């Protein structure tokens, strides 16, 4: 049995208690069959039950996210009901004298998203909150917008973003002083404690429910559309732009298409098989534009129509991917890295701030593992710069933020509208940049070259080491702390920052940041979601070729270091 498992009898007892309160016919049947098989001595069924019930799916700063199925360690209606009741108790406690604080709920096109959202709305209403359910499946940024627009105390988005098809999740935003950002500590622990108290009661059927929740008016979506179209109204260079769009089987297209029309951009050629929501994600192994093969249909469509550009959203449309023609690749297309997109959009934001005289107190921000080029852009235009821990829950809270990004395809381009990553507003901003360049007979490739000429050629790479035993990651981090590397490859390490000891104004974290004498940087940290050790490599070169050579040498040196550590 897995480490930390309870004995078989107690797991069976937990399973039977769960079965008694489960309102979902599908997961009841699934669990009933497993219990019967385990009772008859089926070792595989017993192990499966142990995996489902020996732990609870943890609620943290990312809310809940996990595989669908019966059990406390899966996403299901019992777990969601407990989470909703716990969040309701937290909101009421935090609201003080406010009689009926508002909670708004959104959902995407994944399996069970709608039912999880409706269960939540009923439980919020039953707890005496003003519960507002968005009118249909919509992108995550619309929910983030609605939290602020409706003056809500909190918001919930039912989504697992770009996770595998059989996952779902529960993302929580806070209003008021948090201004519609995702939760951070200590709110996560306080909400988790309320959820635990609800779970200890043992029967969600006793939770009060009400059908007295509201459906948000269509004006909420219309206002988001108008605000996002205003990010970058189409310039003259947009006329005749040929481009391809994929929603990656997600919920982005309906909202994005309305914004394109309002902003005046020509309609794209969609990827027909991926443009409508489909929670089974039938054409991709993993619905993440970063994954190999995920954009193959978009490349094929772009070749068919002779497109100049590809724009892709992930399934809940909070991330953006961009690709441009490249005859040196087998597909004839190349997807930009998250850092390349982030630097271009950061350049745009800084330039706009300078042109409008709005640089005083304004800042650019990115996660500490994202390209250091953004700080160079900020300083060039006289803006402040903030480096944060990973995640938009931190980036969105940067003082004076006018733009923020993380290398994992997340961009915050319109903080007055959405305090979170927003793949739709980022797409509009990118279309604006490309269209402006077209107006002077330049391409997206030319924009990248212009950036390098202005700020230096930045290049990035990542190394991920997957482990079978998670303790190996701790061993490697301990070894690196005990003896800081003196060099990476042939380049000496100038200094090492250990975020566990506190660095600048960053929250403490299990992160090591190595600065090399040639200005290169290596960041080492455990993955927050997978059994991986991750290294982020960044260099600045005199040209794109020079940067490519430097990043290749740095990657080779980093791999030798890992080999020496037994990784």
pLDDT per position as a tens digit, 128-185: 999 999 999 999 999 999 999 999 999 999 999 999 999 999 999 999 999 999 999 9
Q: Mean pLDDT, the chain, as a whole number? A: 94
Report helix angle 444-455 to 423-439, nearest 10.
Answer: 90
For 189-215, write each residue's pLDDT tens digit: 999 999 999 999 989 999 999 999 999
pLDDT for position 3: 33
pLDDT for position 7: 47
Please give the positions annotated as active site.
Answer: 161
For 23-74, write each residue's pLDDT tens digit: 999 999 999 999 999 999 999 999 999 999 989 999 988 899 999 999 999 9
The rounded distance, in Å, linking the Cα atoms of 189 and 412 is 26
Q: Is the pLDDT of residue 1 over 50?
A: no
The rounded distance, in Å, linking the Cα atoms of 510 and 151 is 36
216 DSSP assignment: P
CB 430 within 8 A of CB 342: no
- Give me the CATH code for the 338-455 domain, please: 3.40.120.10
Identify the CATH class of 61-216: alpha beta
Task: Give percent above pLDDT 70 in the chain.
Answer: 98
> Average pLDDT for residues 263-275, to the nearest whole number?
98
> Which parts of 441-492 fold into alpha helices (H)?
444-455, 471-482
Q: Is the pLDDT of residue 9 over 80?
A: no
Q: Is the pLDDT of residue 5 over 50?
A: no
The rounded distance, in Å, linking the Cα atoms of 360 and 353 is 9
For 487-541, write each residue's pLDDT tens digit: 999 999 999 999 998 877 777 889 999 999 999 999 999 886 678 899 999 999 9
**Residue 133 dihedral angles phi and psi, to the nearest 5°:** -100, 130
Q: Is the pLDDT of residue 274 over 90?
A: yes
CB 506 within 8 A of CB 389: yes
28 DSSP assignment: H
Question: Is pLDDT larger for residue 345 or for residue 501?
Answer: 345
Q: How confident is the model at residue 6 (pLDDT cuts 50, 70, 90)?
A: very low
In the chain, which segments carry CATH 3.30.310.50?
Answer: 457-564
> Average pLDDT for residues 323-344, to the nearest whole number?
96
Two tokens, residue 143: 């929910």
Report helix angle 252-263 to 218-229, nearest 10.
Answer: 50
Q: Is the pLDDT of residue 8 over 60?
A: no
pLDDT for position 361: 96
Homologous superfamily of 222-333: Alpha-D-Glucose-1,6-Bisphosphate, subunit A, domain 3 (3.40.120.10)
**Residue 286 dihedral angles phi and psi, to the nearest 5°:** -150, 115
Classify residue 544 as exposed, middle or buried by CB count within 10 Å of its CB (0-12, 13-18, 19+).
middle
Is the preceding peptide bond at 241 cis, omega within 30 degrees of 0? no
In the chain, which segments carry CATH 3.40.120.10?
Answer: 61-216, 222-333, 338-455
461 DSSP assignment: E
Homologous superfamily of 457-564: Alpha-D-phosphohexomutase, C-terminal domain (3.30.310.50)
- Name residue, tokens 């406390």: 72
- How are beta strands 491-498 and 512-516 bridged, if at all? antiparallel
For 228-261, write each residue's pLDDT tens digit: 999 999 999 999 999 999 999 999 999 999 999 9
Q: Is 460 helix (H, G, I), strand (E, B) or coil?
A: strand
Q: Is the pLDDT of residue 415 over 80?
A: yes
CB 395 within 8 A of CB 366: yes
What's the order of all strands across the beta sheet hosting 269-270? 269-270, 243-246, 309-313, 320-325, 333-335
The count of residues in the chain is: 567
The rounded distance, in Å, linking the Cα atoms of 115 and 137 is 11
**Residue 291 dihedral angles phi and psi, to the nearest 5°:** -75, 145
Two tokens, residue 424: 């739709």
The rounded distance, in Å, linking the Cα atoms of 445 and 433 is 12
**Residue 566 dihedral angles phi and psi, to the nearest 5°:** 80, 25
Q: Is the pLDDT of residue 322 over 80?
A: yes
| DSSP per residue, 266-288 | PPPEE-GGGSS--TT-TT-SS--
pLDDT for position 529: 63
């Amino acid at each position: 049995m897995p480490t930390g498992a309870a004995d078989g009898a107690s797991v069976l007892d937990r399973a039977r208690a769960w079965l008694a309160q489960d309102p979902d016919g599908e997961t009841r049947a699934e669990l009933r069959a497993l219990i019967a098989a385990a009772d008859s001595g089926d070792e595989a069924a017993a192990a499966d039950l142990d995996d489902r019930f020996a732990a609870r799916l943890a609620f943290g700063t990312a809310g809940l996210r996990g595989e669908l199925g019966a059990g406390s360690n899966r996403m299901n209606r019992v777990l969601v009901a407990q989470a909703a009741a716990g969040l309701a108790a937290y909101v009421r406690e935090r609201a003080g004298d406010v009689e009926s604080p508002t909670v708004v709920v959104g959902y995407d096109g994944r399996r069970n998203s709608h039912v999880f959202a409706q269960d939540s709305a009923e439980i919020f209403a039953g707890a005496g909150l003003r519960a507002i359910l968005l009118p249909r499946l919509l992108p995550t940024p619309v929910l983030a917008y609605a939290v602020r627009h409706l003056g809500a105390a909190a918001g919930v988005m039912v989504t697992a973003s770009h996770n595998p098809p059989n996952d779902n999740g529960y993302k929580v935003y806070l209003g008021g002083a948090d201004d519609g950002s995702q939760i951070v500590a200590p709110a996560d622990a306080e909400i988790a404690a309320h959820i635990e108290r609800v779970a200890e009661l043992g029967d969600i059927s006793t939770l009060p429910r009400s059908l007295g929740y509201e459906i948000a008016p269509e004006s909420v979506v219309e206002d988001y559309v108008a605000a996002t179209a205003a990010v970058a109204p189409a310039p003259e260079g947009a006329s005749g732009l040929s481009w391809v769009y994929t929603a990656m089987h997600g919920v982005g297209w309906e909202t994005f298409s309305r914004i394109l029309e309002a902003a005046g951009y020509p309609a794209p050629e969609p990827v027909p098989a991926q443009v409508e929501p489909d929670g089974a994600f039938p054409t991709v192994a993993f619905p993440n534009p970063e994954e190999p093969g995920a954009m193959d249909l978009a490349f094929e469509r772009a070749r068919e129509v002779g497109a100049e550009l590809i724009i892709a959203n992930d399934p809940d449309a909070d991330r953006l991917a961009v690709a441009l023609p490249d005859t040196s690749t087998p597909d004839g297309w190349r997807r930009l890295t998250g850092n390349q997109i982030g630097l271009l959009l950061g350049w745009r934001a800084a330039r706009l701030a300078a042109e409008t005289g709005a640089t005083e107190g304004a800042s650019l921000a990115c996660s500490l593992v994202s390209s250091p080029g953004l700080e160079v852009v900020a300083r060039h235009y006289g803006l402040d710069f903030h480096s944060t821990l990973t995640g938009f829950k931190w980036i969105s809270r940067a003082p004076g933020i006018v733009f923020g990004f993380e290398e994992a395809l997340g961009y915050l381009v319109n903080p007055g509208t959405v305090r979170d990553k927003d793949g739709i507003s980022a797409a509009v901003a990118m279309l604006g940049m490309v269209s402006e360049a077209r107006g002077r007979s330049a391409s997206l490739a030319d924009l990248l070259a212009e950036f390098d000429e202005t700020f230096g050629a930045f290049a990035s790479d990542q190394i991920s080491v997957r482990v079978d035993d998670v303790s190996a990651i701790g061993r490697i981090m301990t070894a690196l702390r005990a003896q800081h590397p003196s060099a990476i490859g042939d380049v000496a390490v100038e200094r090492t920052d250990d975020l566990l000891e506190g660095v600048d104004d960053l929250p403490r974290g299990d992160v090591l940041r190595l600065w090399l004498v040639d200005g290169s940087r290596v960041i080492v940290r455990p993955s927050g979601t997978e059994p991986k050790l991750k290294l982020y490599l960044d260099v600045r070169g005199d040209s794109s070729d020079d940067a490519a050579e430097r990043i290749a040498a740095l990657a080779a040196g980093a791999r030798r270091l890992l080999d020496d550590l037994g990784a």
